[in-house]
Amino acid sequence: MPSLKAGKLAARTGLTVRTLHYYEERGLLTPERTAAGHRIYATADMVRLQQIVSLKQLGFPLEAIAAMLDDPDYALEPVLHQQLTAIDQQLAETTRLKQRLEGLLGQIQQGTALSVDDLLSTIQATTMYEKYYTPDQLAELQARADALGPDGMAKAQQDWQDLINEVRAELDQGTAADSDRMKPLVARWNALIRAFTGGNPAIAQSMKTMYEQEGPAAASQGMVDTEVIAFMQKALQAHA
Amino acid sequence: MPSLKAGKLAARTGLTVRTLHYYEERGLLTPERTAAGHRIYATADMVRLQQIVSLKQLGFPLEAIAAMLDDPDYALEPVLHQQLTAIDQQLAETTRLKQRLEGLLGQIQQGTALSVDDLLSTIQATTMYEKYYTPDQLAELQARADALGPDGMAKAQQDWQDLINEVRAELDQGTAADSDRMKPLVARWNALIRAFTGGNPAIAQSMKTMYEQEGPAAASQGMVDTEVIAFMQKALQAHA
DNA sequence: GATAAGCCCTCACGTCGCGTGAGGTGCAAG
DNA sequence: CTTGCACCTCACGCGACGTGAGGGCTTATC
């Protein structure tokens, strides 16, 4: 009769004894026991173990596997869809990460960036943008940046920084987003955005999506201060 | 003077206070303290935090980030390369996972597979193969499977199962891999492999690679018993 | 100057899927 | 009968925090 103890089953499946114990802890697999407490895995247990392993290969957490195996009428389609969209998202993120890494490696091999600091300045400039702008749009942005030259870029950066500082000052003073005091700041903000987008509405739209979607996480990229962004979004709407 | 306490900094960066604490625990960020023990983040701390976040976005673990930031001459190229190959591998695995999920969803939507059990039989048949065989080879295998028909498939499966059981019996009896008793079993094994590969050496090669590379993990897929496989590899070599 | 609200602090345990010992018992072979 | 291996049960470790619990600090209001 084909029934095995933990060590043998582990050897045959390529799992470890600890893993079998763990599955039992989680209620996934419940072999019989000898009088001395040794686990005895019968054929049915092996079949079930095989199912567990297969479902794990599909990326399901153990808890979900337990639910599936314990209910034979489990609705598979929704979980598969869910799993698939999660996978798609992960795939997209990983792909972007790969592109970033390749870009940085390229910079290093060209000698453009050598220290951690150099690297970080590159990251800030590129990370978030790649996500929301199409290649076309990125090319256009790059062209405009080139046209400005390093000095122009520095000035634009400074303009943004000054404006953000002033907005934060108002925020700290408790100024309301729809206050008249915000009017000139809103105007300057819009002007800077126009300069950035070059009047291209597609780019403006991408930028808007970026802030809406990304929220706090985006700001952490360039350290743009999430509070200021949220505040300005209200102000922009109030003075639309 | 721009220096903030934990809550404010957290709000601005989109991180949580706990995260700031944790970075301090790990030695990544060490703000000053007030007499009462409250953390005070100066501008330099914010810059450093920004660097930490950026490097985290590249997928580095906190320990590596600490090393990079503490040594300005840190050799970046190797770690970037390493990171990139890790990413590539992850990408490949995730892509395969996605394909599997899509295949299964297709089956469900066609009504071919409805229960968890149906799903699992499909998984076993396909999972591992997709990894090591080229699409061409998979098509050829599929064609041969179709030619056999369901009955032929069942017989082939049974032949394999019988052979494996016999091999395991020898293994349990302590028969040596190079023993003459193994000769007929080796011959049958080779015959079944020829039937499977259809004499196509490319497919045979893929199959070999699969077993070599995958080892125990592969077996867990179809529950092929890793011990029997290892034993047969020795036997096949001994009787080559 | 007292009090309440809100921010800050330090433990300390939970997450997920096991790996890795430590320390003790069971079992088949010599 | 003893040796040695297989088995058992705790119990801590990982990575990057989340989530309270329980208690001090600070600031606005009365």
Q: What is the pLDDT of residues B41-53, one digit of tens each?
A: 999 999 999 899 9
Q: Which residue has the higher pLDDT, B221 or B226?
A: B226
Which has the closest alpha carbon to A210: A180, A183, A233?
A233
* All residues at 6 or more sequence positions from A136 whose CB lies less than 8 Å from its CB, including other chains: none
Q: Which residues of B207-226 are buried (b: 16+ CB within 10 A; e: fewer)?
A: beebbeebebebbbbbbbbb
Q: Which residues of A162-178 are buried (b: 16+ CB within 10 A; e: fewer)?
A: ebbeebbebbeeebebe
The first and second tokens of residue A116, run together, are 């951690």
- Identify the band that residue B219 occupies on the pLDDT scale cut at 50, 70 and 90: very low
Q: Is the minimum CB–CB distance between B79 and chain A shorter than 8 Å? A: no
- Identify the band that residue A227 occupies on the pLDDT scale cut at 50, 70 and 90: confident
Q: What is the pLDDT of residues A176-219, one digit of tens each?
A: 888 899 999 999 998 888 888 887 888 878 777 776 665 545 54
Residue A219: list chain B partners with CB under 8 A. 12-14
Look at residue A3 and tell me whether its pLDDT is greater than 70: yes
Instruction: Please give the share of chain A, as a percent, with pLDDT higher than 90.
Output: 34
* All residues at 6 or more sequence positions from A105 whose CB lies less than 8 Å from its CB, including other chains: B77, B80, B81, B84
- Identify the band that residue A8 occupies on the pLDDT scale cut at 50, 70 and 90: very high
Exposure of A136 in the CB half-sphere (CA atoms within 13 A): 4
Which CATH number, 1.10.1660.10, 3.40.50.720, 3.40.50.960, 3.10.129.10, labels domain B6-70?
A: 1.10.1660.10
* Relative orientation angle of helices A76-110 and B76-109, to the nearest 10 degrees: 160
C-alpha torsion A34→A40→A45→A50, nearest 10: 150
Q: Which residue has the higher pLDDT, B177 or A128?
A: B177
Please indicate whether, in this complex, the C-beta atoms of B12 and A83 are within 8 angstroms of each other: no
Instruction: Measure the CA–CA gap between B96 and A71, rounded to whole angstroms.
Output: 27
For residue B102, the chain A residue with the least C-alpha distance is: A84
Residue B12: list chain A partners with CB under 8 A. 219, 225-228
For an interface test with A, the pick among B47, B54, B89 (most A C-beta atoms closer than 10 Å) comes out as B54
Q: Using an 8 Å Cβ cutoff, are B211 and B229 in contact?
A: yes
Closest CB from A72, A83, A119 relative to B116:
A72
Which residues, listed in sequence order, are joined to residue B174 by a DSSP beta bridge?
Answer: none
* Relative orientation angle of helices B62-70 and B43-57, to the nearest 10 degrees: 130
Mean pLDDT of B140-169: 81
Instruction: Measure the CA–CA gap between A231 and A28, rounded to whole angstroms.
Output: 50
Helix H segments across A111-134? 116-126, 129-132
For residue B123, the chain A residue with the least C-alpha distance is: A54
Burial of A128 (0-12, 13-18, 19+ CB in 10 A): buried
Placement of tokens 């092929």 in the chain: B224
Residue A84: list chain B partners with CB under 8 A. 98, 101-102, 105
Instruction: Measure the CA–CA gap between A134 and A123, rounded to whole angstroms.
Output: 18
Look at residue A114 and tell me whether its pLDDT is greater than 80: no
Please indicate whether, in this complex, the C-beta atoms of B115 and A73 are within 8 angstroms of each other: yes
Q: How distant is C1' of C1 from CA of B9, in Å?
A: 33
Q: What is the pLDDT of residues B94-135, one digit of tens each?
A: 998 898 888 888 878 877 666 777 777 666 656 566 666 777
Mean pLDDT of A47-62: 92
pLDDT score at A234: 85
| Contact residues for strand C with beta carbon within 7 Å | A 16, 18-19, 22, 34-36, 38, 56, 61-63; B 5-8, 17-18, 21, 37-39
Which residues, listed in sequence order, are joined to residue B41 by a DSSP beta bridge?
Answer: B4
Nearest nt to B5, CA vs C1'?
Answer: C8
CA A126 to chain centre: 15
Which has the closest alpha carbon to B228: A2, A11, A10, A5?
A11
Query: How would you classify residue B198: left for phi > 0, otherwise alpha for psi between -120 and 50, otherwise beta?
Result: left
Rounded to 5°, the CA angle B37-B43-B44 comes to 90
Q: Is the minimum CB–CB distance between B26 and chain A shorter than 8 Å? A: no
Look at residue B36 and tell me whether its pLDDT is greater than 80: yes
Phi, psi dihedral angles at B24 (to 5 degrees): -70, -40
Residue B58: list chain A partners with CB under 8 A. 97, 100-101, 104, 123
The first and second tokens of residue A234, run together, are 């209200």
